[in-house]
Amino acid sequence: MTIRLGYGTNGLTDLRLDDALGLLADLGYDGVGLTLDHMHLDPLAPDLAARTGQVASRLQDLGLGVTVETGARYVLDPRRKHGPSLLDPDPEARAARTRLLVRALDIAADLGAHAVHCFSGITPPDTTTGTAWQRLLGSLAPVLDAADRTGIPLAIEPEPGHLLADLAGFHHLRVLSGDPPPLGLTLDIGHCQCLEPAPPADCVRAAAPWLRHVQIEDMRRGIHEHLPFGDGEIDFPPVLEALDTLGATGYQGLTVVELPRHSHAGPELARTSMEFLRKHSPSSR
């Protein structure tokens, strides 16, 4: 299997980061989707440079690749999930999210990460769609500058219910922003099953030129709920075959298992997820 598999730390929040990385290496994962959060490399706590250096050394010792993810629920505001967003009506609040993403890119550079993941956020009440897109463009401009400076791609994720909800929304952003080279895509396979008109395997092929990060889990049509493999409706062999061919398009990133609501069973799900993906990979047939 040429797919480089990872597991998201947002599904291992009951473990210390050092223990989580050791677990994933022992299970045979190639890398980790590292969500910057208060329990795992807090981006806002003191001594960030020293802590980042320690994580970089641990990753190198274990032979793990890394993608930096920025979907922590309450890292900026303890009262608002994912708040403030890039679309917040308050310019200072939007700027706080922008600063976090710029910081994430600097952390990613120090870690040797493949990409930094982000998402647009939900359109606030009483905000027109046009205004929301303009806020997104303005908020992302310094982030894309930082991505260019660090050489780390920014991989924005279409998220159900957000302004940028699907692949069409990603391409709309590309056009609005002038298609800057640092702007790439995070493709979540479950989200494709949830709301894209095409099957997930077709989404992989269609998105290939812009892919910088992939997330994977099971899901059902029309229901945005991340599920362990086998609990949803996705036909995985065609998806894994499509992912297996991405190397020919230049994709060098990770395919990260994304189960953020299953930390209570994280170590066991990390094990069974690896078994499932190996069993259904093209090389096993």
Reported as a single tens digit per residue, the pLDDT across 169-183 is: 999 999 999 999 999
**Largest Cα–Cα distance of the chain, in whole Å?**
53
* pLDDT score at 62: 98
Q: 236, 257 in Cβ contact below 8 A?
A: no
How far apart, in whole angstroms, are the C-alpha atoms of residue 108 and residue 152? 7
15-33 confidence digits (pLDDT tens): 999 999 999 999 999 999 9
In this predicted structure, the answer to whether residue 68 has a pLDDT above a threshold of 70 is yes
What is the three-state SS of the chain? CCCCEEEEHHHCCCCCHHHHHHHHHHHCCCEEEEECECCECCCCCCCHHHHHHHHHHHHHHHCCEEEEECCCCCCCCCCCCCCCCCCCCCHHHHHHHHHHHHHHHHHHHHHCCCCEEECCCCCCCCCCHHHHHHHHHHHHHHHHHHHHHHCCCEEECCCCCCCCCCHHHHHHHHHHHCCCCCEEEEEEHHHHHHHCCCCHHHHHHHHHHHEEEEEECEEECCEEEEECCCCCCCCHHHHHHHHHCHHHHCCCCCEEECCCCCHHHHHHHHHHHHHHHHHCCHHHC
* pLDDT score at 285: 61
Q: How confident is residue 248, by pLDDT bands cut at 50, 70 and 90?
A: confident
* pLDDT score at 13: 97
Q: What is the dihedral of CA 275, 203, 191, 122, to 10 degrees?
A: 140
- pTM, to two decimals: 0.97
How far apart, in whole angstroms, are the C-alpha atoms of residue 236 and residue 184? 24
Q: For the chain, give the mean pLDDT.
A: 97
% of the chain beyond a pLDDT of 70: 99
